[in-house]
């Protein structure tokens, strides 16, 4: 099909919500950046960044869209692999190898994949491989918050299980003001609340050095923790290997890796058993599916990080897609109405992949336009 990009737009939105934090970052206002790619065939696609626990500065996103726009106009949006290379690796000398610009490129490439799905009459999930129709989800939560003690944490986890049908839940650790003693109380209280049949995931968000990570891992082995996520600085590959060789826990990382080379180096160092590739951090589905396939070759699982509506096509596309991260409205109340159709866990803790052409989800613009900033 002869099709060319004719126009690219950028929109940003921001809204207030109660503050939450993890071991490294405080999350204040909710933010979302949307791109739309238009074509000469009357077909358009959308992509976005943010939407959940986002602290990245919205005002930079539009500048990068302006930069990329001249490279996109007149190009075929279906040739996403070529576009990803030309706007990615070929721009390293100008923009650097990774950063906010890579996230903007991801949104643009997701929009092109949305177009590709609409042209082909297939879902992105199907175009990427379509190996699974349903995927188990875990509820992302357990953040630190003002006046949130152990009882409130337990109640949150029980709500996720009893009302949202979760069979796996995640909590945060690593707040410097908490320390290992209080964090272990959080883990102990969480395990006590959810019982032995629900998987408990623990996320440090890169808060530890190797000695501290080793100490945490040793203690967590007593609580049947399903995985220990981002315990270390992301590019300390030797430390990842040491930790992975020293613990029986599954180590999960990768949400902040921008390139296939990052994952290759992690795997070469035997640094993790679960890869949290994020299609909105690395530059879109072309790179993300390469990571997923590499993981499959090496006998590793993927559990993508980030906005569930965009990560679902990826995790379900491959047979080694283990878990979908699912952010509930309790993390951000706007999520109740932000996307449609609404993605919910089935009674067994799995989610079903939509077969709508393209992404399969859309943004509620009537809602978002109330919070437009540019």
* Tens place of pLDDT per residue across the chain (374 aa): 799 999 999 999 999 988 899 988 888 899 999 999 999 999 999 999 876 656 677 788 999 999 999 999 999 999 999 999 999 999 999 999 899 999 999 999 999 999 999 999 999 999 999 999 999 999 999 999 999 999 999 999 999 999 999 999 999 999 999 999 999 999 999 999 999 999 999 999 999 999 999 999 999 999 999 999 999 999 999 999 999 999 999 999 999 999 999 999 999 999 999 999 999 999 999 999 999 999 999 999 999 999 999 999 999 999 999 999 999 988 888 989 999 999 999 999 999 999 999 999 999 999 999 999 98
160, 20: one domain:
no
pTM of the model: 0.96
Can you tell me the distance from the alpha carbon of 3 to that of 72, in angstroms, rounded to the nearest whole number?
12
Say yes or no: 208 and 309 in one domain.
yes
Supply the CATH number for residue 113's domain: 3.30.390.10
Mark whether 139 and 281 lie in a shared domain: yes
The answer to whether the CB of 143 falls within 8 A of the CB of 331 is yes
Residue 308 is encoded by which pair of tokens? 């569930």
pLDDT at 54: 61
- Whether residue 91 sits in one domain with residue 154: no
Q: Are residues 36 and 91 in the same domain?
A: yes
Give the pLDDT confidence score for residue 51 in this predicted structure: 62
Q: Where are the alpha helices (DSSP H) in 227-307?
A: 237-246, 260-268, 285-297
Write down the pLDDT at residue 239: 98
In sequence order, what are the beta bridge partners of 250? 227
Number of domains comprising the chain: 2
Strand pairing partners for 15? 30
**Same-domain check for residues 147 and 98:** no
Q: State residue 52's pLDDT score.
A: 62
297 and 324 assigned to the same domain: yes
Q: How many residues does the chain have?
A: 374
- In a shared domain, residues 13 and 105: yes
Shared domain check, 180 and 106: no
Preceding amide of 341 cis, omega within 30 = yes
What CATH number is attached to the domain comprising 224?
Answer: 3.20.20.120
Residues 158 and 302 in one domain: yes
Same domain, 221 and 107: no
Q: What is the pLDDT of residues 264-311, one digit of tens each?
A: 999 999 999 999 999 999 999 999 999 999 999 999 999 999 999 999
Distance CA 225, CA 139 (A): 15
Give the domain extent around 216: 126-362
Share of the chain above pLDDT 90, in %: 91
Could you tell me if 160 and 226 lie in one domain? yes
């Amino acid at each position: 099909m002869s099709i060319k990009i004719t126009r690219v737009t950028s929109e940003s939105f921001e809204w207030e919500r109660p503050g939450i934090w993890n071991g490294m970052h405080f999350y204040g206002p909710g933010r979302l950046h949307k791109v739309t790619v238009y074509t000469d065939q009357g077909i358009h696609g959308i992509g976005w960044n943010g939407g959940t626990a986002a602290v990245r500065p919205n005002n930079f996103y539009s500048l990068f869209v302006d930069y990329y726009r001249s490279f996109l106009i007149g190009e075929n949006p279906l040739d996403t692999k070529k576009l990803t290379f030309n706007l990615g690796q070929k721009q390293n000398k100008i923009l650097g190898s990774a950063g906010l610009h890579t996230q903007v490129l991801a949104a643009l490439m997701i929009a092109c994949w949305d177009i590709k799905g609409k042209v082909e009459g297939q879902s992105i999930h199907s175009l990427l491989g379509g190996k699974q129709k349903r995927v188990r989800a875990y509820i992302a939560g357990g953040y630190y918050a003002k006046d949130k003690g152990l009882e409130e944490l337990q109640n949150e986890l029980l709500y996720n299980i009893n009302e949202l049908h979760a069979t796996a839940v995640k909590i945060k650790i690593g707040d410097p003001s908490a320390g290992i003693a209080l964090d272990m109380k959080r883990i102990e209280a969480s395990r006590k609340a959810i019982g032995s049949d629900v998987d408990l995931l623990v996320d440090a968000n890169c808060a530890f050095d190797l000695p501290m990570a080793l100490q945490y891992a040793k203690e967590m082995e007593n609580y049947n923790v399903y995985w220990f996520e981002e315990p270390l600085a992301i590019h300390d590959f030797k430390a990842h290997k040491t930790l992975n060789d020293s613990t029986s826990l599954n180590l999960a990382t990768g949400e902040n890796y921008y390139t296939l080379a990052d994952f290759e180096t992690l795997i070469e160092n035997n640094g993790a058993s679960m890869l949290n590739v994020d299609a909105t951090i690395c530059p879109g589905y072309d790179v993300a599916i390469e990571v997923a396939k590499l993981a499959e070759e090496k006998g590793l699982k993927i559990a993508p990080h980030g906005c569930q509506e965009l990560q679902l096509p990826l995790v379900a596309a491959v047979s080694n897609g283990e878990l979908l991260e699912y952010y509930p409205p309790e993390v951000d109340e706007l999520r109740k109405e932000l996307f449609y159709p609404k993605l919910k866990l089935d009674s067994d803790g799995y989610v079903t992949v939509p077969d709508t052409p393209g992404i399969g989800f859309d943004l509620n613009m009537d809602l978002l336009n109330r919070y437009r900033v540019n």
